[in-house]
Structure 1
Amino acid sequence: MKVVVQVKLLPTLEQASALEATLRVCNRAAAYASQVAFDKGLKDRNGLQKEVYGDLKATFGLSAQPAVRVVKKAVDAYTALKAGLRAGKLGVPTSRRYRKAVGSAIVFRPEAAQPFDDRCLSWQYDARTVSIWTVDGRMKGVRFACSPEQFKTLVECRKGESDLVRRGGKWYLVATCDVSEPDVYEPVDWIGVDRGIVNLATTSDGSNYQGRRLGRYRRWQARKRAELQAKQTRSATRRLARRAKKEKRHAAQVNHKISREIVSVAQRTGRGIAVEDLGGIRERVRLRRDQRGTFSSWPFHQLGEHLAYKAKRAGVPFLEVDARHTSQRCPRCGHTERANRSDRDHFRCRRCGLAGPADVVAGVNVRDRARSAWAFVTMPVPPPV
């Protein structure tokens, strides 16, 4: 499976200046290639490369391989745009966003990430340095730092491109690694995970990961965001962007911690992980106005992705099951009724009297559905008659 490892570069002032100049030149060249591709309808790599290769070298001073990388960057951008349009991420064809996206060439920020392959970038693991192509020539001895786990993954599994990124005045290399996947074992049972807003995750074992702290943090950020938006200055706009990134990183860290603990328990006990399939829930649910902000910032999808890829790396079975009525169905007698859940926190079956925390009951229902789904998937196929 493909994973990325982000390492921090520690360049000197001269090295940082050369890296910045390289990013700006490469992105100007990519914007030129993108404009040519848009004007002449060249979206394939070979056709665009024949058209702009000479200009990229003569006008922008790029070497052969960086010029090829710039062409691929422009082509990949149009491929991603086409996939986004097909998936409906920019609305219907008559929407303003859709028409704006298809009506002009793709542009690149002056400091957008730039991909480098092994001909433009080499790693010296023993010295903890990299050698990288720049507009000022090949630059050697650029130091990098990372955790021991990241370094081990780099040495053993790095394969393919690495992206040069500048973020918050700091330099990073994002390396692609091809990590081998362990075989998925046969689970002895399942851990059902119910995802929510008040409780970010509740397992069928009764483990509860509350979202109160994250909710308070988000409300505090919303108040600060409103104060900055009222100022309407450039400085306020820059601070808003920094706060948005900080809030996003905080939520991602919370999801990483939760998913890591759940996968660890599943691996230790030989069980699989099952979650509800919540795809399209934002379109299905109608909310009051005061609930919309909380619901739209609910990071359930990211938590599901973290669980899926961490389970895959650990060889833990992972399933998504039908989410319908998991919080209203009695796991003992099967009676399903909205009145079974009298409020958000409590469940009590109107038929058999089973009672307990509502989120735990939902997790148990998810677990039971995973048992049935796995038994059906692994059911031996009878020989043809």
Structure 2
Amino acid sequence: MKLVVRVKLLPTPGQASVLEATLRACNRAATYAAQVAFTKKLTDRNGLQKEVYADLKATFGLSAQPAVRAVKKVVDAYAALKAGLRAGKLGAPTSRRYRKAVSAAIAFRAQAAQPFDDRCLSWQYDARTVSIWTVDGRMKGVRFVCSPDQMKTLVEYRKGESDLVFRNGKWYLVATCELPEPEVYEPVDWIGVDRGIVNLATTSDGTNYQGRRLGRYRRWQAHKRAELQRKQTRSATRRLARRAQKEHRHATHVNHRISKGIVSVAQRTGRGIAVEQLGGIRERVRLRRDQRATLSSWSFHQLGQHLAYKAKKAGVPFVEVDARHTSQRCPRCGHTERANRSERDHFRCRRCGLAGPADVVAGVNVRNRARSAWAFVTMPVPSPA
């Protein structure tokens, strides 16, 4: 399985200025290559490289391998755009966003991330430095810092490209690592996980990860955003972007903590993890205007991704089950009715009287469906007579 490790670079002021000049040169070259690809409708890497390779070296000062990486960067960007258009991420072909995306060539920001392969960048783990190609030649001895776990992963599993990133005045290297996948064990049972907004995650064991603190944090950020938006200045716009990044990092950290706790419990007890399939939920539900911001900021998909890759890394079985009526179905008698959950926090079956926290009941239903799904998947196929 592939993971990325982000380490922080500590360049000197002179090294930082050279790195910034390198990023700008690479992105100017990539923007030029993207314009050529758009004008001449070149979609394959070899065809585009034959067309622009000499210009990238002569005009933009790139060496052979950085020029090749710039071409690949352009081809990958157009492939990602095509996939996004095909998936409907930019709306219908008649929408404004769709027409804008296909009517002009891709342009890269001056300080956009740039990929480097092992010919352009080498790691010295013992010295905690890197050697990297720049427009002023090979730059050696650029220091980096990371945690012991990150260093161990880099030494043992780093493979492929590393991206040079400049963000908020700081330099980073994002390295790709390929970890071996442990064999998934046969679970003795399952932990059902119900994801929500008020309670971010509730397990069938009764463990509840509340979202009150995150909700208060998001409301406070929304208040600050409104204040900045009223100013309508360039400085306020920059601060808005920084606040959005900070809020995203905070929500990601919360999801990491929740998923790590659930996976550790499943691994320790020999159980698997089951979650609901919530894809498309934003399109299915109808909300009041005051509820739309809350739903749009609900990071249920990210929590599911964290659970999936952490479970895969630990060898824990992971399944997604049908989400229909998990909060309205009685796990004891099977009676399903909307009135079973007359309040958000409470469940009471109208037939058998089973009562309890609604989110825990939903987690139990997810667990029960995982049992059935896993039994069906692992059922031996009868041999032909």
TM-score range (shorter-chain normalised) is over 0.9
Partner residue, 1:131:
131
Provide the secondary structure at the position in 1 that maps to 2:373: helix
Q: What's the CA shift for 1:305?
A: 0.4
User: Structure 2-normalised TM-score?
Assistant: 1.00
Write the distance in 1 (CA, Å) between the matches of 2:46 and 2:195.
46
Q: Please give the alpha-carbon distance, in whole angstroms, between the structure 2 residues aligned to 1:39 and 1:256.
A: 44
1:5 aligns with 2:40: no
Q: Distance in 1 between matches of 2:338 and 2:42?
A: 56
In the aligned structure 1, how far is the partner of 2:12 from the partner of 2:215?
41
The amino acid of 1:143's aligned partner reads R
1:64 corresponds in structure 2 to 64
* Counterpart-to-counterpart distance in 1, 2:218 and 2:356: 29
Mapped pair 1:173 → 2:157: no
Q: 1:36 matched to which residue of 2?
A: 36
1:325-350 alpha-carbon deviations (Å, 9 max, x no partner) = 00000000000000000100000000
Per-residue deviation, residues 144-195 of structure 1 (Å, max 9, x unmatched): 0000000000000000000000011000000000000100000000000000
Identity across the alignment (%): 86
CA distance in 1, matches of 2:102, 2:372: 46
Structure 2 partner of 1:359? 359
The letter of the residue matching 2:377 is: V
Q: CA deviation at 1:4?
A: 0.3
Residue of structure 1 in register with 2:17 after alignment: 17
CA distance in 2, matches of 1:154, 1:91: 40
1:288-303 aligned within 5 A: 288-303=288-303
1:254 correspondence with 2:248: no
Q: Is 2:272 the partner of 1:309? A: no
Q: How does 1:57-136 map to 2 (within 5 A)?
A: 57-136=57-136
- In the alignment, the residues of structure 1 paired with residue 184 and residue 85 of structure 2 have an alpha-carbon distance, to the nearest angstrom, of 35
- 1:256-305 superposed Cα distances (whole Å, 9 cap, x missing partner): 00000000000000000000000110010011111111011101000000
Tell me how far 1:230 sits from its aligned partner: 0.4
Matching residue of 2:324: 324
Distance 1:57 1:383 in 2: 63
SS at match of 1:6: strand
Runs of 4+ residues over 3 Å off in structure 1: none
Structure 2: which 5+ residue stretches go unaligned?
none
SS in structure 2 opposite 1:104?
Answer: coil
Counterpart residue type for residue 103 of structure 2? G
- Aligned partners of 2:380, 2:367: CA distance in 1, in Å? 22
Q: Distance in 1 between matches of 2:247 and 2:127?
A: 35
Give the Å deviation of 1:135: 0.3
Size of the alignment, in residue pairs? 385
Cα deviation for residue 67 of structure 1 reads: 0.4
Distance 1:66 1:290 in 2: 50
Q: Secondary structure at the match of 1:111?
A: coil
TM-align CA RMSD: 0.4
Tell me how far apart the structure 1 counterparts of residues 22 and 157 of structure 2 sit (CA, whole Å).
27
Deviation of 1:59 after TM superposition, in Å, equals: 0.4
Tell me how far 1:25 sits from its aligned partner: 0.3
**Partner Cα distance (1:290, 1:66) in 2:** 50
Alignment of 1:85-234 (within 5 A): 85-234=85-234
Describe the SS at the equivalent of 1:363. helix
Taking the aligned partners of 1:138 and 1:170, their CA distance within structure 2 comes to 21
Separation in structure 2 between the aligned mates of residue 61 and residue 195 of structure 1, nearest angstrom: 51
Query: 1:255, CA displacement in angstroms?
Result: 0.2
Q: Which runs of 5+ in 1 are unaligned?
A: none
What does the per-residue CA deviation read over 1:81-105, in whole Å, with 9 as the maximum and x for residues that have no partner? 0000011000000000000000000
Q: Which amino acid aligns with 1:223?
A: H
Q: Structure 1 length normalisation: TM-score?
A: 1.00
Partner in structure 2 of residue 55 of structure 1: 55
- Secondary structure of the residue aligned to 1:361 is helix
CA deviation profile, 1:203-258 (whole Å, cap 9, x unmatched): 00000000000000000000000000000000000000000000000000000000
Paired amino acid for 1:15: Q
Partners of 1:334 and 1:242 in 2: CA distance: 49
Distance in structure 2 (CA, Å) of the matches to 1:339 and 1:90: 39
**1:109 aligned counterpart, secondary structure:** coil
- Deviation at residue 43 of structure 1 after TM alignment: 1.2
SS of the equivalent of 1:202 reads strand
